[in-house]
Amino acid sequence: MATKRTISTLDPTQSIAATPPAPKVNYLNNRDILKEIHASKNKYCYYINPETDSQYDIILPSLDKINQRTVAEARRNRADRLKRLGTIVDPLKIPNTDLVFRISCWDHIPMAEKKIPKSAQKKKQKLEDLLEFVEDEPVDDSLDEILDKGLINPVRQRLNFPPFEHFRIDENKEKYIVGRSHWKGDLETGEFSKDHGDMTRKLAHMFMKLCERYATRSNWRGYTYNEEMRGQALLQLSQIGLQFDESKSQNPFAYYTAAITNSFTRILNLEKKNQNIRDDILEINGLSPSWTRQNLGKATMAQLSGPVTITTYIVDKPVEEPETELAKTE
């Protein structure tokens, strides 16, 4: 009876090293982006104690919304945040004095000056012409107020992100402020400021990485003006990067991706418009336009002509009548 022998060519003394799996690369996630957004906004804010007062537990539209339900929700949010940091805490054991409430507030933002539109300037000029001012005669101050009406805009100044204030609750359940956005100096003697802060370097690198990765998609990487698209998207992110509202969504990745898509589409439409203008000029001067225009013309002619339909008509052969006996005799 024949036996089957298996001969191994490997040295049994040598161990085969298993190939380690490729490390998982963390591209970008919402948690890291939210962390950098929060750190960037804090650079524009003032807090009595930056270590404890800067981290909010819940976002509310007004102070009136601080009640038993929102306090319980703030406790749960704080417990979840501490759990991610490695500390397990019972939400019921968190005292109310440790909670921080972020309140959306525009009261500390000064009013913005409004520029007079051209239509209002024309009306003002017509009114001055009708009144025919004389330099020697005194002018009534009330008339100046009528002419200059509309210089003050009833809205606040434009900011890089929605303003807010941080509040705490003391042992007597009284609310007191502990922080304020767009503020420089202490709460009593400080002043409004919107230019003293800046964006964190890590958030700026995230914006650059988002634009680079998005530009490598199959529907965008083939354009010759891909660099211009990336530059426009990066400029757009630097302007609206901090306008993300954490109270409405926890997905800044989708928010930034939509902004990048709009920037890329804007440059694409602009380049197509310029290309059409160049092709029109070339055709007017009797020169050949771009291949895109030529192929577009061929496709248009094919659509106008339509498919060729061949109709075949079959003509039936007439049936021969049988000869009669009279015809045969003739």
- Mean pLDDT confidence for 302-317: 59
Q: Which residues contact 88 (CB under 8 A, 6 or more apart)?
A: 82
Q: How confident is the model at residue 184 (pLDDT cuts 50, 70, 90)?
A: very high
pLDDT over 60 (residue 317): no
The dihedral built from the CA positions of residue 30, 32, 36 and 39, taken in this order, carries a sign that is: positive
Integer Cα distance of 163 and 108 in angstroms? 9
SS3 153: strand
pLDDT over 50 (residue 151): no
pLDDT in the model for residue 23? 73
Integer Cα distance of 164 and 41 in angstroms? 10
Structure tokens at 85: 């940091």
CB atoms within 10 A of CB 297: 12
**Mean pLDDT, the chain, whole residue set:** 82
- The maximal CA–CA distance of the chain, rounded, in angstroms, is 138
Percent of the chain exceeding pLDDT 90 equals: 54
CB atoms within 10 A of CB 47: 19
Side-chain-side CA neighbours of 28 within 13 Å: the count stands at: 24
CA distances from 154 to 110, 114, 143, 150, 151 (A): 10, 9, 21, 9, 10
Q: How confident is the model at residue 123 (pLDDT cuts 50, 70, 90)?
A: confident
SS3 82: helix
pLDDT tens string 73-88? 999 999 999 999 888 9
- Is residue 294 within 8 A of residue 263, CB to CB? The reply is no
Where would I find the H helices in the chain? 30-42, 50-53, 68-84, 118-131, 141-147, 201-215, 226-240, 252-284, 291-305, 325-329
The model carries a pTM of 0.71
Integer Cα distance of 256 and 30 in angstroms? 11
Q: How confident is the model at residue 21 (pLDDT cuts 50, 70, 90)?
A: confident
pLDDT in the model for residue 299? 62
pLDDT tens string 105-114? 999 999 877 6
pLDDT in the model for residue 143? 44
Integer Cα distance of 234 and 253 in angstroms? 14
pLDDT in the model for residue 20? 74
pLDDT tens string 168-178? 999 998 999 99
- Mean pLDDT confidence for 300-309: 60
pLDDT over 90 (residue 325): no
CA distances from 316 to 148, 311, 319, 321, 322 (A): 94, 16, 9, 15, 18
Q: How confident is the model at residue 207 (pLDDT cuts 50, 70, 90)?
A: very high
Structure tokens at 59: 């976002």
Residue type, 68: Q
- Mean pLDDT confidence for 16-40: 81
CA distances from 204 to 77, 239, 254, 284, 321 (A): 28, 12, 17, 47, 97
Q: How confident is the model at residue 306 (pLDDT cuts 50, 70, 90)?
A: low
Residue type, 82: L
Q: How confident is the model at residue 153 (pLDDT cuts 50, 70, 90)?
A: very low
Integer Cα distance of 126 and 142 in angstroms? 18
The single-letter DSSP state of residue 10 is S
- Is residue 94 within 8 A of residue 206, CB to CB? The reply is no
Structure tokens at 206: 């995230």
CB atoms within 10 A of CB 137: 7
* Residue where the block lists tokens 């003509």: 315
